[in-house]
């Protein structure tokens, strides 16, 4: 049997070792559980998060606490290295039972010394994360949304490739080859995973849509003076009425998106008081302090109305999942279990909101895989403000705030990113595409509009002044489009607003 046809782990690892020639470099590998690192001033993990990690990850009490301390200590190092490496960045992840090692991948061997000096482990890879992201986008555009095209697709930064999980790997590999995708990068892996929306309808509390449909509250949000919460998109549609766990009238779906996305927001009436907390298994709560994105390999916990409080690990980001009603893009894959009714419930890393439960496979008796819709996209799409224990967190308005669709991002010098949210959008009619970019003073960020033509992305309009702010107004036919934000000079955050025909 050829290696292309094989789906055994040994064959995949052999090919990876040859084609990627990944090199791992560390100052001193750790083989034993280290002593507890020093806790940051005032740091105290939620008690029920420690107990859930012990149960779900099979850790001792000391190991669970060390794990969270390591994640808190290494996360700022990862953010600094990601910025310093820039376009060479190939991904990052935690390894070890207690997350004692932060691995940062790069395509440039000259980055390795500074990675080691910062206290991380360096890994040399062939492709940058931005290259993998482009391959992932093309894979989603090319492979069909049925079983032969795979049930799940994601970027596997640990192996520097794109993985397609499928029950029929031979047929999927044939499709990959026929689509002119690079088979050394896009790999079909046999999997029995059958994700389904967990949409039977509790910031863990339950709410109902109709007499029997139950989902779970994600996080408290505001939109101006209107109060509400975010949840999964498949739980209801715009205009649907909700009742709370006590069956009292609660609110109305203001917007919902499913498939393509899996998010919604519900405006509640004056009888309900918003709280910036997530319920845990003991009847207590965990405070929400912000929405900083956790690193792959970090601990994450989920609250839902069916199975309450469970924890696990963030496995991969940028996952595309095909459900019976269609494909949802840009989900995050985790080892946390969930069951029907947990849909829409909160995913949180210590005190940082991560997202709302979408769907998954398995259950909380035998274990499973669960996907969440990241919180950032929900807030920017609907112009919502996350309620936290220190008040509301909302981006400052800029020149793009008037546009109906909003995204935010961060670029290092020389880096580029695709919007919306690393993907594209489709228009079914011809018309005007208006995009504007609002970046910090002192940087030179440029904006490009691209259209999918003849199986490649073609730039149809560019705005590249020496200023931080750019605007595009382009009239074009129906089709698939995306924006590319490019750092020509400088680094920092940006906001982008856009309008489609």
pLDDT tens per residue across span 446-489: 999 999 988 889 898 888 877 778 888 888 888 999 999 998 88
pLDDT of residue 205: 85
- Angstrom distance (rounded) from CA 452 to CA 478: 10
User: Considering the domain 33-124 in this protein, what is its CATH number?
Assistant: 3.30.300.50
CB atoms within 10 A of CB 170: 14
Per the annotation, the verdict on 351 as an active-site residue is no
The structure's pTM equals: 0.68
Exactly one of 48, 56, 262, 342 is catalytic; name it: 262
The residue extents of the domains of the chain are 33-124, 193-393, 405-499
Exactly one of 88, 234, 310, 433 is catalytic; name it: 234
Per the annotation, the verdict on 262 as an active-site residue is yes
Q: What is the mean pLDDT of residues 128-142?
A: 90
- Strand residue runs (E) in 107-158: 121-124, 152-156
Exactly one of 216, 343, 358, 361 is catalytic; name it: 343
Who's near 120: CB < 8 A, 6+ residues apart?
Answer: 74, 77, 78, 81, 92, 101, 102, 103, 104
pLDDT in tens, 185-202: 999 999 988 887 654 333
* Residue showing tokens 């003849």: 454
CATH topology of domain 193-393: Thrombin, subunit H (2.40.10)
Per-residue confidence at 401, pLDDT binned at 50, 70, 90? Answer: low
- Angstrom distance (rounded) from CA 350 to CA 282: 16
pLDDT in tens, 263-278: 999 999 888 888 888 9
User: Considering the domain 405-499 in this protein, what is its CATH number?
Assistant: 2.60.120.380
Per the annotation, the verdict on 488 as an active-site residue is no
**Does the structure show a pLDDT above 50 at 428?**
yes
Rg of the chain over all Cα atoms, to the nearest angstrom: 22
């Amino acid at each position: 049997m050829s290696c292309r046809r094989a789906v055994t782990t040994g064959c995949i690892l052999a090919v990876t070792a040859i084609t990627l020639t990944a090199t791992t470099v560390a100052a001193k590998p750790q083989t034993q559980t280290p002593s507890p690192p020093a806790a940051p001033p005032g740091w105290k993990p939620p008690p029920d998060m420690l107990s859930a990690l012990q149960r779900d990850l099979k850790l001792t009490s000391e190991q669970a606490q060390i794990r969270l301390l390591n994640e808190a200590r290494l996360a700022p190092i990862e953010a600094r290295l990601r910025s310093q490496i820039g376009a060479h960045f190939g991904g990052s992840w935690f390894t070890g039972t207690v997350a004692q090692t932060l691995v940062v991948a790069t395509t440039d061997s000259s980055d390795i010394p500074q990675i080691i000096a910062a206290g991380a482990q360096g890994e040399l890879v062939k492709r940058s994360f931005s290259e993998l992201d482009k391959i992932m986008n093309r894979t989603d555009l090319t492979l069909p949304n049925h079983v032969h095209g795979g049930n799940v697709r994601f970027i596997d930064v640990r192996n520097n490739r794109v993985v397609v999980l499928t029950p029929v790997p031979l047929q999927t590999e044939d499709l990959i080859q026929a689509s002119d995708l690079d088979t050394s990068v896009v790999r079909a892996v046999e999997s029995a995973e059958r994700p389904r929306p967990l949409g039977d309808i509790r910031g863990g509390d339950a709410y109902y849509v109709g007499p029997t449909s139950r989902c779970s509250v994600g996080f408290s949000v505001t939109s101006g003076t209107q109060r509400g919460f975010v949840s999964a998109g498949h739980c209801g549609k715009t205009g649907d009425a909700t009742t709370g766990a006590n069956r009292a009238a609660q609110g109305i779906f203001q917007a919902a998106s499913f498939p393509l996305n899996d998010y919604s927001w519900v405006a509640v009436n004056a009888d309900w008081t918003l709280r910036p907390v997530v319920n845990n298994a003991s009847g207590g709560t965990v405070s929400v302090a912000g929405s900083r994105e956790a690193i792959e390999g970090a601990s994450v916990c989920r609250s839902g109305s069916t199975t309450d409080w469970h924890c696990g690990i963030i496995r991969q980001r940028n996952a595309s999942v095909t459900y019976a009603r269609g494909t949802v893009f840009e989900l995050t894959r985790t080892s946390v279990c969930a069951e029907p009714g947990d849909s829409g419930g909160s995913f949180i890393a210590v005190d940082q909101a991560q997202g709302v439960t979408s769907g998954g496979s398995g259950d909380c008796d035998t274990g499973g895989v669960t996907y969440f819709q990241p919180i950032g996209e929900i807030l920017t799409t609907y112009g919502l403000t996350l309620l936290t224990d220190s008040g509301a967190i909302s981006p400052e308005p800029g020149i793009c705030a008037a546009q109906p669709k909003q995204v935010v991002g961060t670029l290092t010098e020389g880096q580029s990113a695709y919007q919306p949210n690393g993907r594209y959008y489709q228009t079914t009619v011809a018309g005007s595409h208006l995009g504007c970019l609002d970046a910090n003073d002192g940087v030179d960020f440029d904006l490009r509009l691209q259209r999918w033509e003849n199986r490649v992305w073609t730039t149809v309009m560019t705005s590249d002044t020496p200023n931080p702010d750019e605007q595009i107004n382009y009239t074009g036919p129906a089709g698939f489009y995306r924006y590319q934000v490019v750092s020509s000079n400088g680094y920092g955050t940006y906001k982008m607003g856009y309008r489609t025909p």
